[in-house]
């Protein structure tokens, strides 16, 4: 089925979260109305604010936790999950474009800007990329600079490099 992204319909919903260990550190999975609403790595510069995660329940989102294990084990290339996103219309367009970047490949801010119909908005794409609330599933780590070099990543450059090597995008 693949990833099913939808915009949030309300800001006043109950959230809960689970914490999952991973090779890049603990991941917080935020659940809202039965869907994944946030996935962030401990210590990330941006992304969901821990105060917004809600109460902890490590039994939440078992299918996402299982898929993350498969992904980090090198056995999963495409996630299958319902995802609810809180963002501006522009951010939602960017996050949907990011979700279409295939496993094992990379893209640039300029390519994403063109894909969302805003060819001169590479910096705005970068800002939206940095605010991605569902890292890994919406693969913001696959964005590199136009010169082919690795660029910033809210989770840290070491993690970005690890993820791109895991996916075979960096040799």
Answer whether CATH 3.40.50.11540 is correct for domain 87-166: no
Structure tokens at 7: 């915009």
Question: What pLDDT sits at residue 58?
Answer: 95
Q: What is the pLDDT of residues 18-60, one digit of tens each?
A: 999 999 999 999 999 899 999 988 877 665 566 778 899 999 9
Q: Is 49 a catalytic residue?
A: no
Separation between Cα atoms, residue 160 and residue 166, nearest integer Å: 10
Question: What pLDDT sits at residue 110?
Answer: 95
- Look at the domain 3-84 and name its fold: Double Stranded RNA Binding Domain (3.30.160)
Global model pTM greater than 0.85: yes
Instruction: Output the DSSP codes for 11-62.
Output: S---EEEEEE--TTS-EEEEEETTEEEEEEETT-SSSS-GGGS-EE-TTS-H
Question: What pLDDT sits at residue 72?
Answer: 98
Domains in the chain: boundaries = 3-84, 87-166
140, 143, 166, 169: which one is catalytic? Answer: 140
């Amino acid at each position: 089925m693949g990833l099913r992204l939808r915009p949030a319909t309300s800001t006043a919903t109950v959230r809960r979260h689970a914490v999952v260990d991973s090779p890049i550190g603990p991941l917080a999975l935020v659940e809202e109305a039965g869907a994944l609403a946030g996935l962030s790595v401990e210590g990330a510069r941006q992304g969901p604010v821990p105060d917004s995660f809600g109460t902890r329940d490590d039994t939440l989102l078992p299918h996402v936790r299982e898929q993350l294990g498969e992904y980090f084990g090198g056995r999963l290339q495409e996630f299958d999950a319902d995802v609810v996103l809180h963002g501006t219309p522009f951010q939602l367009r960017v996050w949907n474009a990011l979700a279409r970047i295939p496993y094992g490949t990379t893209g640039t801010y300029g390519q994403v800007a063109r894909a969302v119909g805003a060819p001169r908005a590479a910096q705005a794409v970068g800002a939206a990329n940095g605010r991605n609330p569902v890292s890994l599933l919406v693969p913001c780590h696959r964005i590199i600079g136009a010169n082919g070099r690795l660029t910033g990543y809210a989770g840290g450059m070491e993690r970005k490099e690890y993820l791109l090597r895991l996916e075979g995008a960096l040799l």
